[in-house]
Structure 1
Amino acid sequence: MEDLVRAARLRGRSLDELAITDIAATRPAAGEVAIAVETVSVNQLDLNVIAGVGPGAAAALPRTLGLDPSGVITAVGSDVDPARVGERVVVKPNIPCGDCAWCLSAREADCPLQRVVGVHRDGGAAEYVVVPSTSAFDRGSLAPEVATAAVHSVPIVLNAMDAAAVSASDLVLVTGASGTLGCAAVEVALGLGARVIAASRSDLTVPDGVFAASYAEPSDIPARIAALNIGEPSVVIDVSGHGAVTAAAVATLGWKGRAAFCSSSVAATIPLDGRDFYLRRKSLVGVASADYEHVRRGLRLVSDGTVRPVIGPRFPLARIADAYRAFTAGASGKVIIDVE
């Protein structure tokens, strides 16, 4: 590992303050690994860090961005098996504390003290990144860009499916279905044997057997679902980040319908019809992370072809600002930054 490494360093709260620069390399401490990064992707949370809003406001500047790096372990700290050097890995962005009641019961997603790579500590938009060994998952034969595209989205979707108790008997409505999380949710639900409705404001290309429902405004969603004439959804998985969409989707649920939402970054207020929610025994849960087991399951689903992450535009590290611009312009598929 070199003394200086290239990194995408954010020094102020605007994209103009993001620059590729040399920084001192961090050595892995006890329980940590150093990873030579091959790929990392662009996420909404990166933009929140740049703007200093929402969870991104927690990032102390300067900060190296990048939530979900994939690469090869080059060094390990004490208490880590030296045999992990050379392992092809991908990083789970949310790092749980490991000591609370939630962590001790293998519910790492619900740890109240978790920290995020690229927010609370330097991220993977750099030649090397150092993370806890428990956050570096063996990606096997998965290409680095595929593992990067999957490691954050697919486990969160699996957590949402578990939270909503999705089974083969369900009719699942996925809102925000054209994005990375939405595409993963559609494929995971199909893999569980459920019938699936994919809803989005964008034009949709859906897998065989999936019902598509495009809408112009959130208020259109109930009518678009009713027009399909296939019954009321029993489950909603909302990844739109838009509270009005979440509310409209919940309104379509049948008796004792269950809903989970995985994003709240666009319009956070959810204007639910309280009487309908109460009288029809509906439930709604927020899902913002994943357990270690969700990560392992998610990578297996990608390896066996059940979930196929869509790779979008790719940019070298030197053009990371262009990658963020492509993301905000609505690029299709996961925007990837090639670091190696």
Structure 2
Amino acid sequence: MQAALLTAHGLDGLSVTGADVPTPGIGEVRIRVETVGLNQLDLNVISGRGPGAAAKLPRVLGLDPAGVIDAVGPGVESSRIGEPVVVKPNIPCGRCPRCSAGREADCPTQSVVGVHRDGGAAEYVVVPARSAFARGSIPAALASAAVHSLPIVINAFEAAAVSRHDRVLVTGASGTLGQLAVAYARHLGATVVAASRAPITGAAASAAADGVRTVLVDSPAILADAVALGGAPDVVIDVTGHAPTLAAAITGLGWGGRAAFCSASVDAHLELDSRDFYIKRKRLAGVASADYAQVERAIALVESGAIVPPIGSRIALADIARAYRDFASSPAGKVIVDVR
């Protein structure tokens, strides 16, 4: 089979080459891959930095493959062969107290497809059967665009206890996660302010006609003032990975304000006014994964058409190294690799 294999850190160490077709073990399924998405975490693996440093090379990349199950290992019902599925990248241990409570996102020993084990930027991938979710009638590309991003957004909104009565500020609204956060806030009926340093396009821009206020902010220092023109937000959902932006957004929160952030890859040094945080009863949560139930809800939202994940571009597997090189300048939305 063909696979995007990283043998040394840096894009020069990535090539699409021949590899053995994997065999599913106990409790596993093998998926004939149709699509997979490009993610920031892939770039961390390529550079060997941050959470990507956990990957042992050689490693096949690809967090979120979608395809069809073509083989099953011992302990898995053969009826699953032929089932269209998409893979949840974060694999919980299934044994700890958090997993037992249905909080798989908070499992402290979870592993990640494409980081701790070979991923889905290949013609075939093997994953635990529980991590392969039925995608019903959802096309593979939409499933890959949704399965990692939308469940994280749902988790962030639940961590911040968002309701339809809240005024929600989404920072980083021009990106894939940001567009999904805006769409999900609107789905809940909340009032939305979409803020970004880059021009806001795609779903977030379309939502402006439906009552979403968009704000272009070129400096974190002016974020709180720019957003507060319509009243202090109750909730901040930050997907920028830029700590000064998160800090400015938290500063602008009103009484009892809640913040959740879904990325910390750009600037991780967060400074907060502890007195303001304490006196105004603010709360902050970090969200890096999702529970099984949140993945199932995300898939149902996409299948119903309530949320449409933004796809920015599609490329062939053979062009994956170039796509990673151009990742920062890619069109807004998910970059999808067509494996087949």
Q: Same fold (TM over 0.5)?
A: yes
TM-score by length of structure 2 reads 0.97
1:169 aligned residue? 165
The answer to whether 1:8 aligns with 2:10 is: no
The answer to whether 1:108 aligns with 2:104 is: yes
What's the CA shift string for 1:103-139, capped at 9, x where partnerless? 1111000000000000000000000000000000000
C-alpha contact (below 8 Å) 2:312/2:330 kept by paired residues: no
1:142 aligned residue? 138
2:128 aligned residue? 132
2:180 aligned residue? 184
Q: Which amino acid aligns with 1:237?
A: I
2:329 aligned residue? 329
The answer to whether 1:68 aligns with 2:70 is: no
The answer to whether 1:92 aligns with 2:88 is: yes
Kindly state the Cα deviation for residue 325 of structure 1 after the two structures are TM-superposed.
2.2
The answer to whether 1:290 aligns with 2:265 is: no
2:221 aligned residue? 219
Determine the C-alpha separation between the residues in 1 that align with 2:310 and 2:213.
20
C-alpha contact (below 8 Å) 1:315/1:322 kept by paired residues: no
Determine the C-alpha separation between the residues in 2 that align with 1:214 and 1:304.
32
Determine the C-alpha separation between the residues in 2 that align with 1:80 and 1:106.
21
**Partner SS state of residue 184, structure 1:** helix
1:308 aligned residue? 308
What's the CA shift string for 1:217-247, capped at 9, x where partnerless? 11110111123xx211101110100000110
| 1:83 aligned to which of 79, 91, 96 | 79
**Partner SS state of residue 24, structure 1:** coil
Kindly state the Cα deviation for residue 330 of structure 1 after the two structures are TM-superposed.
3.8
Q: Which amino acid aligns with 2:13?
A: E
Runs of 4+ in 1 over 3 A off after TM superposition: none
Q: Which amino acid aligns with 1:11?
A: T
* Structure 1: runs of 5 or more not aligned: none
What's the CA shift string for 1:244-296, capped at 9, x where partnerless? 01101101111010100000000011111111111111010101100000000
Determine the C-alpha separation between the residues in 2 that align with 1:225 and 1:29.
52
TM-score by length of structure 1 reads 0.97
C-alpha contact (below 8 Å) 1:314/1:323 kept by paired residues: no
**Partner SS state of residue 127, structure 2:** strand
**Partner SS state of residue 50, structure 1:** helix
Determine the C-alpha separation between the residues in 2 that align with 1:300 and 1:268.
33
Kindly state the Cα deviation for residue 59 of structure 1 after the two structures are TM-superposed.
0.2
Determine the C-alpha separation between the residues in 1 that align with 2:327 and 2:125.
23
Determine the C-alpha separation between the residues in 2 that align with 1:329 and 1:178.
12
Determine the C-alpha separation between the residues in 2 that align with 1:173 and 1:306.
21
Is the alpha carbon distance of 1:328 and 1:106 closer, same or farther for their aligned partners in structure 2, counting shifts above 3 Å? same
Q: Which amino acid aligns with 2:218?
A: A
* Structure 2: runs of 5 or more not aligned: none
Determine the C-alpha separation between the residues in 2 that align with 1:303 and 1:171.
27
Sequence identity (%)? 60
Determine the C-alpha separation between the residues in 2 that align with 1:333 and 1:325.
16
C-alpha contact (below 8 Å) 1:70/1:145 kept by paired residues: yes
Deviates more, 1:319-328 or 1:150-159: 319-328
Determine the C-alpha separation between the residues in 2 that align with 1:77 and 1:218.
51
Q: Which amino acid aligns with 2:297?
A: R
**Partner SS state of residue 281, structure 1:** coil
| Number of equivalenced pairs | 334
Kindly state the Cα deviation for residue 206 of structure 1 after the two structures are TM-superposed.
4.1
What's the CA shift string for 1:21-65, capped at 9, x where partnerless? 111121001100000000001000000000000000000000000
1:281 aligned residue? 281
